[in-house]
Chain A
């Protein structure tokens, strides 16, 4: 059995299929090893060297600038940003740019959206209805926490112990989001344990919420194979004193809606009982001789609450103090920056295989150390990642690029729905109005509190097509689709914005010059955040001269908005 299992485990290691290059890529890998800017490069470089793989060359300034601006702030650099960065002769200009971006308002929007995805802040979900008031309160708390650089562990502790009126207190909505109304309260406790373990520890404990691990999870998770449903119940018992007291709420603007506002409290008493036969889980019953009352104990350590310690506060303390919390967090951040986690899937950690499951086990531990030593500062962690040479490698790679798990080059990924829409409105300088119930309109999709906001705006279908998901049962995706290509080619969101009206980029460029070369330069800068190469410039000039300059300038920006370079980063 052992050999068979080992083969399978090996197979799991390569779950992420090697990227196959149908056509030869351009560019050349560097000849040497990865230069070391920090410990990340030591680890990435060592594995490359062991496997005889050359890293790609360092990204050029414009490739780096566009990438770091999109990754940290979800926006494309303006022509002025590009010129200033290129003109900057200081050797530490990349570090300075990273600092600027970490301090920007756009950074707050981009990471508020990330955390909103993680905790699934929505107005309406399958289980509960937060309503726009609850969703907006939650959004405000997340945004404020990111803006004020609240340590990440403190954020999570606040959420796990969150109380108050769900329409006022953002953190109260953590419990509201997991209410399971068609089952006993234990179903809700289970949801809370499952969600917190998956999202904050990266461990898929859902499996053991219905059955014990042995003879089920051999192929899925060796660590959880050794755990029982009883272990899960002990974890869920930390939530057994959380209560959400619902009262009917009537919105004068929407009097027929069946709305509930919740007061989330922590009871002084209460326990997780093994006495259910209905709801969404298989029956809960004590084993012969076992009490039907479960005492809380943390899955990873068996630790119990201290005398007098509130259950949820105890859980938050244990969860955020556990090293796995730091591992899972850095893995999420790594994926945001590199497009692939060191452990994949990011919610699939197997604690029994920490030395073999991560693509770079020692790096994962070093990153966890770094996060802890930096006081769980998201910005500091992102600065460390962005400062590495590994992050700054070019996407170009000669020949067949090695499997992405080596991180030998940047693997470009499609801009996410909101980022792409914002990139189009920014590049064309024709803004969009996105309505948000209970708040002022926003002009950036990155500022939508919930991906389902702006339902009635023309942008809504566009965002859906590009896989924004719904933060409930439809996950966000960066996959491509035929409807996306059709949209980029024919949707008025694109075609109207390249017209020489509405004070658009094309209109402004044409007002300033009628020189085809300058038109080409300006449209490349506005769209791709770089100047054209000599060959591209020649193609563009020839095209612009082939007809009415004004029309042809519109065509050029249309073409640039449809380049793979614009759509990917």
Chain B
């Protein structure tokens, strides 16, 4: 078989190079490309709160509830219209079902945690041709919002709360990397200088007098990146009221469920409300890798414990965003790297890794109160994809959706990449192989 160079690009771009599951490849994706019309961008959201449930929650116990002999009665399945809902797990979220659009036809590419997590955050195969240079979706959002920034926009465009080490800016300039914050009631401990402002001013002045490498760049680009971060730090320290965004009172901490995850949603809310330049906020909640004892009330991270924490925080977030008139301009997306096995539990009393999963959207101009896609009785396969593309929803499609909502052309091909091959925000989206889920609007 003879391949053209163009075909190579396409193969690489579909995220199939180095794919870990050859058997899920659809050959139509390789060669049956249709050219998409110029994209119509929704541009209905100003910012995005990206909630990553790391470890992969059980979709058939939560967003796509499937009842069977295995279902404990205290999941309390309840009907809201034709939606069956685990009232015992997510009662507060249920109050906001009218705002949520749940996509049940998701399919992950790989059932390996790190791989799947990275894939979902860079919208491509990490092992593929552009995986190693790819920025996080949030870094692209930060870059794209750079031109519209004003002097009031003192916060980084991309902030990651309690997310540990996640993908950063890839080959893009380091200033688009996520500003990582570990939330605390008192806010950012490093925003204020212990010896006071005037002493700090002296020290800052002295530093810039003695440190000529900051202007000559003699130590190279990595050192100048660090210098940029010093400049950004100074802007943050000087701006009034920044720490009120990152701090919270006891009462709010309690209202959001008295958890670290809840704290991160308080700060996420504050960030979008502050309108100080942050357009993408990621928060990560781990503990969902329920290989064993998923329904065991005695287990430290049982589904009950995990959902209680998630539910309290989500309920409070949707209540607040609605009350503050922020939900319409804030796209909330809840993702995970894959799903969990369906039907009866394993002999460990748990659920293992599974490619089928669900993704939840709310706000940012999307229409809630809806389910997109339908799975079969146990949730093992899709019987209706629920969107016009009539195929599985991939993490690349979720990225297109976020970009479109924020008014970013998801078919963009940058020409500044170090490979000199053109860097696609979402590989092959320009050929129509991935697309926003238009049915959300």
Contacts and interface: CB of A to CB of B under 8 A. Distances in A.
A565 B219 contact: yes
A331 B382 CA distance: 48
B325 interface: no
B147 interface: no
Interface string B405-441: 0000000000000111100000000000000000000
A21 B213 contact: no
Interface in B206-225: 206-207, 209-225
Interface string B201-242: 011001101111111111111111111011011001100000
Interface stretch (A69-77, A207-215, A425-433): A207-215
A310 B220 CA distance: 51
A218 B215 contact: no
B96 interface: no
B207 A563 contact: yes
Interface in A449-500: 461, 464-465, 467, 469-470, 473-475, 477-487, 489-492, 495-496
A469 B165 contact: yes
Contact of B222 (A1, A5, A413): A413
Contacts of B220: 19, 21, 25, 395, 401, 411-412
Contacts of A477: 165
A174 B213 CA distance: 44
Contact of A15 (B3, B212, B418): B418
Interface string A334-360: 000000000001000000000000000
A543 interface: yes
Nearest to A218: B8
Contacts of B22: 210-212, 216, 282
Given A280-B111, A280-B353, A4 B195 contact: no
Interface stretch (A161-169, A292-300, A438-446, A552-560): A552-560
B297 interface: no
A549 interface: no
A467 B164 CA distance: 10
A126 B114 contact: yes
Contact of A484 (B132, B193, B229, B291): B229
A477 B167 CA distance: 11
B17 A220 contact: yes
Contacts of A15: 132-133, 418-419
A7 B421 CA distance: 10
B233 A489 contact: yes
Nearest to B223: A564
A306 interface: no
B391 to A, nearest CB: 20
Interface residues of A, number: 93
B194 interface: yes
A60 B48 CA distance: 51
Contacts of B216: 23-26
A186 to B, nearest CB: 15
B165 A467 contact: yes
A265 B17 CA distance: 37
A15 B218 CA distance: 23
Contact of A4 (B5, B171, B199, B222): B5
A222 B17 CA distance: 12
A17 interface: yes
Given A14-B420, A216-B22, A220-B127, A486 B236 contact: yes
A540 B420 CA distance: 47
B168 A479 contact: yes
Nearest to A477: B165
B250 interface: no
A22 B220 CA distance: 9
Contact of A482 (B113, B156, B217, B420): B156
Given A14-B418, A489-B193, A1 B3 contact: yes
B2 interface: yes
A87 interface: no
Contact of A474 (B164, B207, B223): B164
A473 B116 CA distance: 11
Nearest to A209: B20
Contacts of B133: 15
Nearest to A17: B418
Given A218-B8, A467-B165, A485 B230 contact: yes
A124 to B, nearest CB: 12
A320 to B, nearest CB: 27
B375 interface: no
B339 to A, nearest CB: 14
B190 A486 contact: yes
Contacts of B3: 1, 218
Interface stretch (B76-84, B178-186, B302-310, B396-404): B178-186
A482 B203 CA distance: 18
A211 B25 CA distance: 11
B16 interface: yes
B21 to A, nearest CB: 5
Contacts of A5: 5, 8
A121 B194 CA distance: 37
A485 B207 contact: no
B19 interface: yes
Contacts of A12: 419
A563 B17 contact: no
B69 interface: no
A359 B409 CA distance: 37
Contact of B219 (A4, A395, A490): A395
A475 B168 CA distance: 12
A207 B165 contact: no
A8 B9 CA distance: 10
Nearest to B200: A489
Interface string B1-35: 01111001001100011111111000000000000
Given A5-B5, A15-B418, A560 B214 contact: no
Contact of B206 (A483, A485, A492, A555): A555
Contacts of A555: 199, 202-203, 206
Contacts of A182: 291, 352-353
B211 A565 contact: yes
B233 A486 contact: yes
B180 A483 contact: yes
A207 B127 contact: yes
Nearest to B352: A182
Contact of A486 (B177, B191, B213): B191
B207 A559 contact: yes
A406 to B, nearest CB: 14
A482 B179 contact: yes
B18 A543 contact: no
30 contacts: A5-B8, A7-B5, A23-B224, A25-B218, A26-B216, A210-B21, A217-B17, A218-B11, A219-B11, A220-B17, A282-B22, A283-B23, A401-B220, A412-B223, A470-B165, A474-B164, A481-B168, A482-B236, A483-B190, A485-B226, A490-B189, A490-B190, A490-B237, A492-B194, A495-B195, A540-B210, A556-B206, A559-B210, A562-B230, A568-B222
Given A496-B194, A559-B211, 20 more contacts: A7-B5, A21-B217, A26-B218, A182-B352, A206-B127, A207-B18, A210-B21, A212-B22, A219-B17, A282-B23, A411-B220, A474-B165, A475-B165, A483-B181, A485-B229, A486-B237, A556-B206, A562-B230, A564-B213, A567-B223
- The 10 A-B residue pairs with the shortest CB-CB distance, nearest first, are A4-B5, A211-B22, A17-B418, A473-B114, A474-B165, A23-B217, A486-B190, A485-B229, A480-B226, A559-B207
